[in-house]
Structure 1
Amino acid sequence: MKKTHLALMAAAAAALLVAPNFLKNYGIYLLSYWLVFIIATMGLNLTVGYAGQKSLGHAAFFGIGAYTVAILMKAGISFWLGLPAAALLCFAVGLALGFPALRVQAIYLAFATLGFNTAVWLLMRNEEWLTGGTFGINNIPRPELAGLSLEGNLAYYYFVLAVAVLLALLLWGLLRSPWGKAFTALRDNPIRAESLGISVRSYTLLSFAIGAAYAGIAGALFASLVQFIEPAPFTVAASIMMYLMVVVGGPGYFWGPVLGAAVGVIVPEWLRDVPGVADWYLPLFGAAVVVLMVWLPDGLLSIPDRIRARREAREASAARSAAAASMGAIT
């Protein structure tokens, strides 16, 4: 790891470890909610930001993970079996969803994944014998770890934080490996990547499958966090919001999901409590996102790169001007 990334990760971990000491119960719950969406958007960032695919169906995997854990726990199966089951099921479904990406690209792929999300949502709503339909599944328990109950918001927060850090480290290792280089090559130029011996088919499928597994784990954690699930959080609108989090944070930036999920989860809650803004926080939030996308289409984390590029351009221009002046003086 680069020293800057190590320092950032250490600082972020330290801040998240001490933050609950300054928050009330709802604040701790909100931080857990934010961490869940960081995990979900880490997977989407791999699919969209690193592999260059278009997906508007991420909330479907999020929902599959949540319902898998909820249904299994209601059947008396441990959370610790339900969690890997959710990840494996989402991996398999994500692998299947990746096949349309082999034939269609760009907006057509986005519509294909959108249709998938709609189909899964309808299944969740209509198959009451399995999902409870619009009544949902309630009283979803939180797990125990080594005899310690995670029922309280603080204990569950630290558990979700540990999972988020572990998955972030796994993703970092993946991106630093030859697989990560293959994903970025696939995004930048699929034809060139194939000419270099990279299997476009395999890595396209893997980008969907791994991204879906991350969403499935996030969904499993979400189910135990809120302790009640129904189809509403897993609509196409939720997928668009997750996509927005990735784009706002910066697609293809490792820290993008952290910042993007903060903008999508924490900022609206903060605006809702600002005096004079409470009745207008959603329109203001939407307008701010539109302005941001016009000004920074590559996301908030592209700001340092833009500043660096402008500085380098000025330095190059000054060097050319100096060279031209010196040539003029010689002649």
Structure 2
Amino acid sequence: MTFTTWSRHLLVGLLLAAAILAPVGQGNYITYVLTSWLIFSIAAMGLNLTLGYAGQVSLAQASFMAIGAYTTALLTLAGWHWMLAMPVGLMLCFVVGLALGYPALRVQGHFLAFVTLAFNTLVFLVLRNEDWLTGGNYGLMGMPRPDFGIFKTMRQVDFYYFTLVVTVIAALVMWGIVRSPWGRAFKALRENPIRAESLGVDTRRITLLAFAIGSAYGGLAGALVTSLVQFIEPGSFSLLHSLRILLMVVVGGAGFFFGPFVGAAVVILLPEILRFTEGYYLIIYSALVIVMLAFVPNGLLGIGARLRERFLAPRQRADMAQGAKLE
């Protein structure tokens, strides 16, 4: 095992230990904020696959959270268990994401962003106006939290650990995807679609898969939101929330596996940490984000990659050259 691999495993272990210990001794509100961080990390993971790995701009991640949330809410209110309702929401998001991916086959860049923006607005209007199904502006309430017999999630801390388990599973699945041939195809599509197609990559299928899988992750986050707040309404999934998820991916580092977790921590947790400044916390938070985007366009994890390339890469090249001489 190389030093880089060993240090990465150590970092993952420390982060997981920190996540397990984070709610210990905390009140319900702090635990609620930590749970929100995990949920939005899942949503950002999906957008990171679509944008960071496949290079497809999307401003519709909140709409897929809405589809997953409302589907899960309606089914659980009808008597379904959360574990049965959630996969239905995921499959619906996967299918709708697959359909939304078709415009990406014809338009790119800001044109694709406008298409996904329009879809987000469409979903918002449907949720607000079709009150016979969605409750309209009044929303839906009273959705039960998952109950597994010996383990119940009604307490905030119990639901946090349930969400943590779901997040770890989602992260492991995403790790398998980005390390698979699909993941390499996503990166090839992002770097140069024409070259990728010339090398035999089915760019049409890969583009659709990027949207579909990323959308399913948004649906999973929405299903968890339903149980967390036990109340949903259209304003919870507006364009503003899609922009927040986009900010998480960009701030954390698009194309970096742990970028969504770092970005979600900045967007969700940092404002809470800055509350000691009272009325100035939003001003300080906004200023920090602006400075970060101006001077670190590759995100916070991009700083580490840049330092690694600057200091470790020359040493590795020197070691390789020394090894070649010895041979």
TM-score range, shorter-chain basis?
Answer: over 0.9
**Aligned-partner Cα distance in 2 for 1:224–1:313:** 46
Give 2:301's aligned residue. Answer: 301
Following superposition, the deviation at residue 148 of structure 1 comes to 2.3
Give 1:195's aligned residue. Answer: 198
SS at match of 2:282: helix
Following superposition, the deviation at residue 311 of structure 1 comes to 3.8
Following superposition, the deviation at residue 19 of structure 1 comes to 1.7
Cα deviations by residue, 1:93-119 (Å, 9 ceiling, x for unpaired): 000000000000000000100000000
**Aligned-partner Cα distance in 1 for 2:313–2:189:** 28
Give 2:113's aligned residue. Answer: 110
**Aligned-partner Cα distance in 2 for 1:9–1:96:** 35
| 1:122 corresponds to which of 120, 125, 129 | 125
5-14 vs 95-104, which deviates more?
Answer: 5-14
| 2:255 corresponds to which of 249, 252, 275 | 252
| 1:11 corresponds to which of 4, 14, 22 | 14
Matched length: 314
**Aligned-partner Cα distance in 1 for 2:119–2:247:** 19
SS at match of 1:154: helix
SS at match of 2:154: coil
**Aligned-partner Cα distance in 2 for 1:247–1:28:** 25
21-30 vs 255-264, which deviates more?
Answer: 21-30
The one-letter amino acid of 2:281's match is: Y
2:134 counterpart of 1:131: yes
| 1:43 corresponds to which of 43, 46, 50 | 46
Q: Considering only aligned residues, what root-mean-square deviation do their CA atoms show, in Å?
A: 1.8
Classify 1:269/1:193 alpha carbon distance in 2 versus 1 (closer, same or farther; 3 Å).
same
Following superposition, the deviation at residue 4 of structure 1 comes to 3.0
**Aligned-partner Cα distance in 2 for 1:145–1:182:** 39
**Aligned-partner Cα distance in 2 for 1:131–1:6:** 44
Following superposition, the deviation at residue 305 of structure 1 comes to 1.9
Following superposition, the deviation at residue 23 of structure 1 comes to 1.5
Cα deviations by residue, 1:284-303 (Å, 9 ceiling, x for unpaired): 22221111111000000011
Cα deviations by residue, 1:239-284 (Å, 9 ceiling, x for unpaired): 0110000000000000100100001111112222x1xx32122232
Q: Percent identity?
A: 53
| 2:222 corresponds to which of 219, 224, 227 | 219
1:1-331 matches, cutoff 5 A = 2-272=5-275, 274=276, 277-311=277-311
Following superposition, the deviation at residue 8 of structure 1 comes to 2.0
The one-letter amino acid of 1:198's match is: V
The one-letter amino acid of 1:302's match is: G
The one-letter amino acid of 1:300's match is: L
**Aligned-partner Cα distance in 2 for 1:39–1:254:** 12
**Aligned-partner Cα distance in 2 for 1:165–1:5:** 16
**Aligned-partner Cα distance in 2 for 1:31–1:313:** 36
TM-score (norm 1): 0.91
Give 2:318's aligned residue. Answer: none
Give 1:319's aligned residue. Answer: none
SS at match of 1:148: coil
Classify 1:103/1:278 alpha carbon distance in 2 versus 1 (closer, same or farther; 3 Å).
same
Unaligned runs of 5+ residues in structure 2 are 316-327
Following superposition, the deviation at residue 176 of structure 1 comes to 0.8
**Aligned-partner Cα distance in 1 for 2:263–2:209:** 23
Give 2:323's aligned residue. Answer: none
**Aligned-partner Cα distance in 2 for 1:96–1:42:** 20
The one-letter amino acid of 2:169's match is: L
**Aligned-partner Cα distance in 2 for 1:91–1:109:** 18
TM-score (norm 2): 0.92
Cα deviations by residue, 1:37-65 (Å, 9 ceiling, x for unpaired): 01110101000000001001110001111
**Aligned-partner Cα distance in 1 for 2:239–2:73:** 21
Following superposition, the deviation at residue 78 of structure 1 comes to 1.8
Following superposition, the deviation at residue 313 of structure 1 comes to 9.2
The one-letter amino acid of 1:287's match is: A
Cα deviations by residue, 1:116-170 (Å, 9 ceiling, x for unpaired): 0000001111110011011011111101124421111111111100000011011
**Aligned-partner Cα distance in 2 for 1:311–1:32:** 37
Give 1:327's aligned residue. Answer: none
**Aligned-partner Cα distance in 2 for 1:86–1:155:** 23
